[in-house]
Structure 1
Amino acid sequence: MRLHREGKTIMLTTGLVLLVLDLLAYFYLFPDNPTAIILLALTSLILFGLVVQFFRIPNRLLTTGETQVIAPADGKVVVIEETTEAEYFKDRRRQVSIFMSPLNVHVNRNPISGVVRYFKYFPGKYLVAWHPKSSTENERTTVVIETSAGVEVLLRQIAGAVARRIICYVKEGNPVTQGEEFGFIKFGSRVDVFLPLDAEIKVNIGDVTKGGVTVLAELKN
């Protein structure tokens, strides 16, 4: 396991703040109360551990397949439905949405290999990730990847009530490889995947996904 580069500043800042609080408690606030000092130190360790675990990148054997769409994120499948994608395709698509809690790994991975045909960032609100309007009104990015067979898959990173920063590393025209990082969402949210109507969905509502490992769907060439 390793730690993600996006967490360096947050982890360092959190560690320093907690250390200063513990030192203040030891020398000034509770110098004669060892129980309070120990409890504060334990609380600091737990808080720091929670921050560190958020930025973890576990070692995984990634799944690859030309016609397979792999989960772009860790989390739980909360939406599987046929819907109209109005931003790019402007037609009917199959949508699979993965909700990411603050305890999940938050690296976002390319679900397929291909070329980025579309990228756009939208500033917006911070409604809870499961709110019906979050996919159209929250801060978000949209990425469309076209496979070598000409099939396009749309990904949408969506901020939530807690997630206040979306990071995306790809741009239009970039070639991308299945399983590699395409972005990161800090402190929970969700990722929507829009697939062709003839894609065979391989997951169910409530399934737990592993980014880069779980097969979401099979594409028809």
Structure 2
Amino acid sequence: MSRLLHQSQVSKQAAQAAIDRKLALLNDWIEQGIPYRMDEDGHVLLDSRDRKVLEFFPTSLRQFKLWDGSQNSPRLQAKLPLLTVTGNDTLSKRPASAEQAARLIAALRLCAENQQASGSATTARKLQQALKIAQHTIGLRVAELREQQRELRQMKREHAQLRAKYEGDNAELRKNLNLTAAALSQEQQRNAKLTKLLAKVSPLRAPHGS
């Protein structure tokens, strides 16, 4: 049974690690910019409006779950960490990760707009986009802080429960020791009385003619 539980725990940790790799990569792209799609020779591709083509990035939670790196160019795939498809239940059972993914996706969409418009946007427009990205980034940090606070509260609750159990076990142990000591004392007293009684009775049972 313990082996099955261990394997289940390992699987859960692996699933969380796979999600965390995606989240970390998206966070890097927010801070450093979404990579541009390149051909095999390293030339940036342009769309029909002569704008640089961005690499694929998930624009919804559904795309986030399906993202395994195959949607990106071969040149970028070689640089990506291991990305795997995330199951529906896997993400739904981790609301904090799902919320973080949604925030990152929203921030990335703003980054994409900013990068694509950078060649023609006015200074005011660029500043507005930069402000929106900054606001989303702050929101991400606040969400992360809340999650850390939630985990800390959970750890405190678990610590309090363990401490209460430890103190309860100690109290039970002391109670059992006291009961055992009392029973032992009673047994010793009973043995002492029997010894005295036996000493009194023994002369009366001495052999005749002695």
TM over 0.5: no
- Give the TM-score normalised by structure 1: 0.21
Structure with more of its chain in strand, by fraction: 1
With a CA cutoff of 8 Å and minimum separation of 6, indicate the structure with the bigger relative contact order: 1
| TM-score, normalization by structure 2 | 0.22
- In terms of fraction of residues, the more helix-rich structure is 2
Larger radius of gyration: 2
